[in-house]
Amino acid sequence: MKRMLICLAVLLLVAFPIFAGGSGDGEIEAAVEMEPYPSQPIQIIVPWGAGGRTDINARMFASVAPKYLGQPVMVINMAGGGSVIGGDFVAKAEPDGYTLLAITPGTNVFPVVFGSAPYDTFDFEPIGQIGSSTMAIASNPDSPWDDVESLIEYAKANPGKVTYGCVALKAPQLGFLRWADAAGLEFKHVPVGNDAEAVASTLGGHVDIAMTSSVATIVSHVNAGNLVPLMVFAEERDGNLPDTPTAVESGYDVVASPFTGIAAPKGLPDDVLATLRDVFDKVIVDEDFLKVMKRIGESISPKSAEDFKDVWKNDIEGYTAIVEKMGLK
Amino acid sequence: MLEFIWPSIELFFTLQNLLVVVIGLFIGITIGAIPGLNVPMTIALLLPITFYMQPVAGLTLLMGVYKGGTYGGSISAVLINTPGAPAAAVTCLDGYPLAQQGKAGKALKASIYGSVIGEFISDIVLITLAAQIARIALKFGPHEKFSLVVFALTTIAMVSSNFKIKGLIAIFFGIFFRTIGSDPIFGSARFTFGIFKLIGGIPFLPHLIGLFAISEFLIQIEKRIRKGTMDVVVPPPKTPDDDRVTWQEFRSNIRTIIRSTLIGIGIGALPGSGSSISAFVSYGAAKSASKNPEEFGKGSLTGVFAAETGNNAVTGGALIPLLTLGIPGDPITAIMLGAFLVHGLVPGPELFEKSATIIYAVFIGLIVANIFHFFIARLGVKLFTRLLSMSRAYLFPIVLVICMAGAYTTNSNLFDVYIMVLFGVLGYIMKKLSFPIPPLMMGFILGPLLETSLVQLMILGDGSILPLFTRPISLLFVLLTLFFIVWSTVFQKRKKDRK
């Protein structure tokens, strides 16, 4: 009995601060309205964990931007829910220019297409596109095909037999399906957690084809002769794989290049927006910035805010169409 | 390889690099030892700093933090029964009982020796055999991974408590908790009960701090502090031998150390696993090879050696797929991949051709870090043990505040702090009902790998699980699992009956 009482007392002790602190979620609003923007540090929310491509882009941006902004820029990782949690945080943040988002289609395109996001694609205001990566398919050299034509031939003869490994329900799978649909082919999808896993499964011969969201993950394996690149899904050929044709060249109207960029919550005051876009334009041509981006194999293709918005629009339309056609929703 | 040695030595041995190794280890050990602060986050925070350092300095800094952090978790595991890092969860099982017997110094020193030796061998293997091991690691497809996870989970259930069924229940709870949130494959929401923030699932760090640290504080609250008695966290050693590992003890554990090192390297080299699994499997292997398995869990030095060697031997192993294939083996090496890229070093098959000098300089850094690790850790143990001679009444509140901060900062989310408290209560109840906590954590960690590989193998086999038994590596793990179950139930029981 006495032991029970002690247990109970301990649990009550825990319960008290929880209920007492339950309302403590409020934001601390600083009175900064009157001062010219920016008068305090700016935070960029990265809705993914640290160390990924989006994170490095944002951190590089954050390290160069203060030069032109006059305020420190902090990167905050808010991972979870396939980036929807961080996305939601920014979508609902005060549109004062102090909270920005490192944006990729994973945040404002795919969850919207599948209806799993509590916000809309255009709840964000584009600041600018940093770059877009080149998606590519590659296969193990032991496979019975060595280019995309022979793959198509083989896949036609063996419908549903050829396996491809890639991240499910995001740019890789949906981009692949857009192409397979246009080519009238049927493949078997093996979902994996990330690009690296897709590459590893293909190297190990567990799946036939890897579809990755960036050529950066396959280039060194291609150069070493461990992977055969088949096709890229960008508008143009990739500098690292000059001999690999684009889907468009091969006769399929499929361009799928996941973007990375900076966005803000919708409804920013005009002057703040102008300042941010101006700073963005300067950072994106800054030498320090470009040097690192080049080293990590990021293809820089800056786009102004309006063009960036068009990219979002095209993505939403293209992916919604394929998702509905394939009944994936 | 040899032609790179001299330029690499020249490149590495600068005052700056040596200093960086020391700083990295120091940061790592400190962060590792404090529950609530974790290594992946520290590495993420240091990452942008390394962008502006020389490649060798930047990379050795991160490696130092990685090594130090993997080891540092054992300090708090031994002293306050709270692993500072998930990898040290197993160390609690025997380290804490040892500390309570006044043998904290012995356990901590065993942890240093185990860690340093495991790391050293693992680094040597990385330097000499990386390419060959990577080729074997690639053979692990969904089938092999699935049966490996089943094997690991079985081991964990069987070794972490005398009540095997309770270990099993804890594992299933762990797997269940992990299913909350978006599923790892298609991202559909499960068990979120309409709570938006649960879409992200139960965050790992708050869950870990809650289960281990908060529950321990609750247990401590029950204890009365009497006036006049020195109520210190750890009782002082009774004999000088309690404060060190004798040669005799070390010699009898050499087999355990070697075995755990090999397990660590192997598991580290497989993408998707990590140091906590290795610690458990090593512990399980040591227990099944031991002549006195009943000592495990009550303060077996072999248990500490197995766990600590096993988890630190992963550090070299995990770099194998990262460097040779560009595929990170765990969350920490995933962040390191970024550091390599930023310096223009593209991990993968071409790394050793294009940037051999730098990579070998980093390798020299690893070895040097091993040597420094030994001395810094010994110094650290002195400091930490002194810190713990303060009263519980001061120490635990301080650690509690750090835990709260740690839970908050990972995702900058107050919700996570509530999660931490909830799991603290769960951990407290589990401890009261003598359910082991580490299996729950392992179920939580391995759940997604189990699920993903099962889905993948089902898709590949058109719904058949037969290949699990026809593929040789997979079959091996299936048989090992069966053997382990039979060993730990039938034979153990027979032994007990005979007594």
Query: Quick check: is A23 in a domain?
Result: no
pLDDT at A198 over 90: yes
Q: Range with the lowest mean pLDDT among B13-22, B235-244, B416-425?
A: B235-244
pLDDT digits (tens, 9 = 90+) for A143-186: 999 999 999 999 999 999 999 999 999 999 999 999 999 999 99
Q: Can you name the residues that pair with A231 across neighbouring β-strands? A: A137
Let me know whether A128 and A267 are in one domain: yes
The model's confidence at residue B334, banded by pLDDT at 50, 70 and 90, is: confident
Let me know whether A194 and A276 are in one domain: no
Q: Range with the lowest mean pLDDT among A73-82, A128-137, A319-328, B314-323?
A: A73-82
Let me know whether A223 and A163 are in one domain: yes
pLDDT at A226 over 70: yes
- From chain B residues 351-410, the ones with a CB under 8 A of any chain A CB are 351, 410
Put simply, the answer to whether B199 touches A191 (Cβ < 8 Å) is no
Q: Range with the lowest mean pLDDT among A257-271, B30-44, B217-231, B405-419?
A: B217-231
- Residue B21 is predicted with a pLDDT of 95
Query: Quick check: is A9 in a domain?
Result: no
pLDDT digits (tens, 9 = 90+) for B37-64: 888 888 888 888 888 889 999 999 999 9
Is B138 in the A-facing interface, judged by CB distances under 8 Å? yes
Please give the single-letter amino acid code of residue B106: K
pLDDT at A31 over 90: no
pLDDT at A59 over 50: yes
Query: Quick check: is A207 in a domain?
Result: yes
The mean pLDDT value of chain B amounts to 89
Query: Quick check: is A192 in a domain?
Result: yes
With contacts defined as CB-CB under 8 Å, which chain A residues touch B133? none
Residue B253: which of B156, B117, B370, B374 has the closest Cα? B117
Average pLDDT (B394-421) is 88
Phi, psi of A81 (to 5 degrees): 60, 35
Let me know whether A62 and A100 are in one domain: yes
Let me know whether A225 and A140 are in one domain: yes
The total of structural domains in chain A comes to 2
- Residue A22 is predicted with a pLDDT of 46
Question: Which residues, other chains included, contact B299 with Cβ-Cβ below 8 Å and sequence gap of 6+?
Answer: B94, B97, B98, B100, B101, B103
Domain boundary among the residues A197, A232, A267 is at A232
pLDDT at A42 over 90: yes
Let me know whether A263 and A283 are in one domain: yes
Domain that holds residue B55: 2-498
pLDDT at A20 over 70: no
Give the gap in angstroms from C-alpha A59 to the nearest C-alpha of chain B: 7
Query: Quick check: is A322 in a domain?
Result: yes
Put simply, the answer to whether B334 touches A52 (Cβ < 8 Å) is yes
The total of structural domains in chain B comes to 1
pLDDT at A14 over 70: no
**Is the backbone peptide bond immediately before A38 cis, with ω within 30 degrees of 0?**
yes
Domain boundary among the residues A216, A232, A248 is at A232
Asked whether B387 and B34 are in contact (CB, 8 A), the reply is no
- Residue A25 is predicted with a pLDDT of 44
Query: Quick check: is A212 in a domain?
Result: yes
The model's confidence at residue A27, banded by pLDDT at 50, 70 and 90, is: very low
The model's confidence at residue A12, banded by pLDDT at 50, 70 and 90, is: low
pTM: 0.89
- Residue A2 is predicted with a pLDDT of 66
Query: Quick check: is A274 in a domain?
Result: yes
With contacts defined as CB-CB under 8 Å, which chain B residues touch A168? 185-187
- From chain B residues 205-224, the ones with a CB under 8 A of any chain A CB are 218, 221-222
Give the gap in angstroms from C-alpha A157 to the nearest C-alpha of chain B: 19
CA of B274: how far to CAs of A297, B36, B114, B264, B333, in Å?
Answer: 28, 19, 17, 9, 10
- Residue A23 is predicted with a pLDDT of 44
Euclidean distance between CA atoms A85 and A76, whole angstroms: 13
The mean pLDDT value of chain A amounts to 88
pLDDT at B14 over 60: yes
Q: Can you name the residues that pair with A192 across neighbouring β-strands? A: A167
The model's confidence at residue A28, banded by pLDDT at 50, 70 and 90, is: very low
Let me know whether A220 and A268 are in one domain: no
CB pairs under 8 A between A and B: 175
Euclidean distance between CA atoms A127 and A274, whole angstroms: 9
Euclidean distance between CA atoms B312 and B334, whole angstroms: 17
- Residue B4 is predicted with a pLDDT of 78
pLDDT digits (tens, 9 = 90+) for A94-141: 999 999 999 999 999 999 999 889 999 999 999 999 988 899 999 999
Put simply, the answer to whether B200 touches A168 (Cβ < 8 Å) is no
**Closest chain A residue to B429, measured at CA:** A7
Asked whether A46 and A107 are in contact (CB, 8 A), the reply is no
Euclidean distance between CA atoms B490 and B484, whole angstroms: 10
The CATH number covering residue A164 comes to: 3.40.190.10
- Complex ipTM over 0.85: yes
- Helix H, strand E, coil C: the string for chain B is CHHHHHHHHHHHCCHHHHHHHHHHHHHHHHHHHCCCCCHHHHHHHHHHHHHCCCHHHHHHHHHHHHHHHHHHHHHHHHHHCCCCCHHHHHHHHHHHHHHHHHHHHHHHHHHHHHHHHHHHHHHHHHHHHHHHHHHHHHCCCHHHHHHHHHHHHHHHHHHCCCCHHHHHHHHHHHHHHHHCEECCCCCCEECCCCCHHHHHCCCHHHHHHHHHHHHHHHHHHHCCCCCCCCCECCCCCCCHHHHCCCHHHHHHCHHHHHHHHHHHHHHHHCCCCCHHHHHHHHHHHHHHHCCCHHHCCCCCHHHHHHHHHHHHCHHHHHHHHHHHHCCCCCHHHHHHHHHHHHCCCCCCCCHHHHCHHHHHHHHHHHHHHHHHHHHHHHHHHHHHHHHCCCEHHHHHHHHHHHHHHHHHHHHCCHHHHHHHHHHHHHHHHHHHCCCCCHHHHHHHHHHHHHHHHHHHHHHHCCCCCCHHHHCHHHHHHHHHHHHHHHHHHHHHHHHHHHC
The model's confidence at residue A34, banded by pLDDT at 50, 70 and 90, is: low
The CATH number covering residue A61 comes to: 3.40.190.150
pLDDT at B236 over 90: no
Put simply, the answer to whether A50 touches B47 (Cβ < 8 Å) is yes
**Three-state secondary-structure class, residue A23:** coil
- Residue B229 is predicted with a pLDDT of 53
Put simply, the answer to whether A60 touches B337 (Cβ < 8 Å) is no
- Residue A261 is predicted with a pLDDT of 95
Average pLDDT (B221-234) is 67
With contacts defined as CB-CB under 8 Å, which chain B residues touch A205? 141
Is B184 in the A-facing interface, judged by CB distances under 8 Å? yes
Is B182 in the A-facing interface, judged by CB distances under 8 Å? yes
Put simply, the answer to whether B414 touches A24 (Cβ < 8 Å) is yes
Asked whether A211 and B335 are in contact (CB, 8 A), the reply is no
- From chain B residues 48-87, the ones with a CB under 8 A of any chain A CB are 48, 51
Domain that holds residue A263: 42-132+258-326
Put simply, the answer to whether A199 touches B327 (Cβ < 8 Å) is yes
Q: Range with the lowest mean pLDDT among A239-243, B35-39, B307-311?
A: B35-39
Query: Quick check: is A252 in a domain?
Result: no
- From chain A residues 289-308, the ones with a CB under 8 A of any chain B CB are 292, 295-297
Question: Which residues, other chains included, contact A7 with Cβ-Cβ below 8 Å and sequence gap of 6+?
Answer: B432
Domain boundary among the residues A232, A266, A284 is at A232
Let me know whether A124 and A272 are in one domain: yes
The model's confidence at residue B70, banded by pLDDT at 50, 70 and 90, is: very high
